[in-house]
Amino acid sequence: MTFFRISALFALLCMAAPAFAQSAPQYDRSQLAVGATYSWESSNGLSKAINLGLVDGVYHFLVTDRAANGDETETLYGTNQEGRLLWSDLEGDIITYQPHDCSFVTTSCKSELFAGGNSIGTTSTTAFYADGIWTHIVETHIQDQPSYTSYVCGIYDQDSIIQVLYAIDSDSDTPFWLRITSGPNAGQSQEMLARVTDACQKARPIS
């Protein structure tokens, strides 16, 4: 996967997932404990995140990724109070979402992406929630790159922290997966990952 695709997937780590009813309520990002840390294992290596809380009107979440070869990168994510992603900053490589990204929006949603102040493309997202699983179908159109569709399925805890994630693109046979290794659900993460894998495989059209 390219940097942009991996960054977009890891953006879901810091999103606030509202509980779903007839209409999905907004989650209050300010309710997460400042300084709380979380750890995951993924198909790319290991990740650790810390909630930095509110900084200049934006909620900050820092994710450190360690690849299998030991290389480390840090990405800072900024969200609004409702948990929508506003920007990601991978060591100075900043992507901004206008008006915000489309995570956990149960109606069709479109976001414009900017880098260096210039528009670089758009994402169009359809999301739905069933059996405790969020499924996002994201169409991405980046300038001078082939368009593709991502199928992203995840389970979140009561504090909106991702427990497991499975994602695969329409132009790839290699999925990305992630499961939590800290907290009360760590022992159930393998079973939960099997559930979201099945959900995404059902959502993705057979080519």
pLDDT in tens, 107-146: 789 999 999 999 999 999 988 888 888 888 999 999 988 9
Instruction: Give the mean pLDDT of 82-88.
Output: 89
Give every CB contact of residue 32 below 8 A, 6+ residues apart in sequence.
16, 51, 53, 59, 159, 160, 161
Give percent of the chain above pLDDT 90. Answer: 58
Q: Count structural domains, the chain.
A: 1
pLDDT in tens, 166-191: 999 988 889 999 999 998 899 999 99
Please, which pLDDT band fits residue 2 given cuts at 50, 70 and 90?
A: very low
The answer to whether 86 and 76 have CB atoms below 8 angstroms apart is: no
- Amino acid of residue 87: W
Please, which pLDDT band fits residue 67 given cuts at 50, 70 and 90?
A: very high
Helix (H) or strand (E) holding 203: helix 189-203
Average pLDDT, whole number, for the chain?
A: 85
Question: What is the model's pLDDT at position 90?
Answer: 93
Helix (H) or strand (E) holding 166: strand 162-169
Question: What is the model's pLDDT at position 144?
Answer: 87
Helix (H) or strand (E) holding 115: strand 109-115
Please, which pLDDT band fits residue 22 given cuts at 50, 70 and 90?
A: very low
The string of DSSP codes covering 35-85 is T-EEEEEETTEEEEEEEEEEETTEEEEEEEEEETTS-EEEEEEEE-TT--E
Instruction: Give the mean pLDDT of 135-159.
Output: 89
Domain that holds residue 25: 3-203
Q: Which residues pair with 42 in a beta bridge?
A: 45, 178
Question: What is the model's pLDDT at position 178?
Answer: 95
Question: What is the model's pLDDT at position 65?
Answer: 95
Alpha-carbon gap, residue 158 to 170, rounded angstroms? 31
Give the three-state DSSP class for 195: helix
